[in-house]
Amino acid sequence: MADQEVDWTSHAESRIHEAGLKKSGPRGRVIESLAGRDCAATALEIDAELEGVGRATVYRAIEQLEELGLVQKVDLGGSAFGYEKVDPSGHHHHHIVCDDCGKVEPFEDEALEEAIHDIHRKGFKLEKHEVTLHGQCQDCR
């Protein structure tokens, strides 16, 4: 396990505690599962990985983590949403999805972030944004 994962895990546990929530084994396992991934996973993938943890618990844990800003929901273009840990530093990335095989890769782009930051829309208070690029990966070409 890399340092960053340890950081995110303990950061998440602290924030959970600060929010007045109790410690729990099943939720801890969901947090671990998210910590060990570089990019988005679906709720059902996590559920399948964690034997003995109920589906409802996985969804509940993800929801709580999302409310605390520890996890973000990302649309991968398919039928299910993906969820991934949010870097405490505020650093974030977007996604490239291969429309043939479904593979997802993270990417970052400074110019893109700036362009989005410069968008102002009358009456709308922007809170977050999501960019998904679609195409074909090397393997599928």
Partner DNA sequence: CGACAAAGTGAGAATGAGTCTCATTTACTA
Partner DNA sequence: TAGTAAATGAGACTCATTCTCACTTTGTCG
Q: Tell the burial category of 104 from Cβ atoms under 10 Å away from its Cβ (0-12, 13-18, 19+).
A: buried
Is position 119 an interface residue for DNA (rule: CB under 7 A)? no
**Which residue(s) pair with 105 in the sheet?**
96
Pairs from 64-67 (Cβ < 8 Å, separation ≥ 24): 64/16, 64/19, 64/21, 64/27, 65/12, 65/30, 65/31, 65/34
How many Å apart are CA 104 and CA 94, to the nearest integer?
10
Q: Tell the burial category of 117 from Cβ atoms under 10 Å away from its Cβ (0-12, 13-18, 19+).
A: exposed
Is position 115 an interface residue for a second copy (rule: CB under 8 A)? yes
* Distance of closest approach, residue 61 Cβ to a second copy, in angstroms: 20
Is position 18 an interface residue for DNA (rule: CB under 7 A)? no
State which of positions 73-112 bind DNA (CB under 7 A): 79-81
State which of positions 80-99 bind a second copy (CB under 8 A): 96, 98-99
Is position 57 an interface residue for DNA (rule: CB under 7 A)? yes
Site string for a second copy, 30-69 (x = CB under 8 A): ----------------------------------------
Span interacting with a second copy, options 23-31, 38-46, 61-69, 106-114, rule CB under 8 A: 106-114
Q: Which residues bind a second copy (CB under 8 A)?
A: 75, 77, 96, 98-99, 105, 107, 109, 111-112, 114-116, 118-119, 121, 123-138, 141
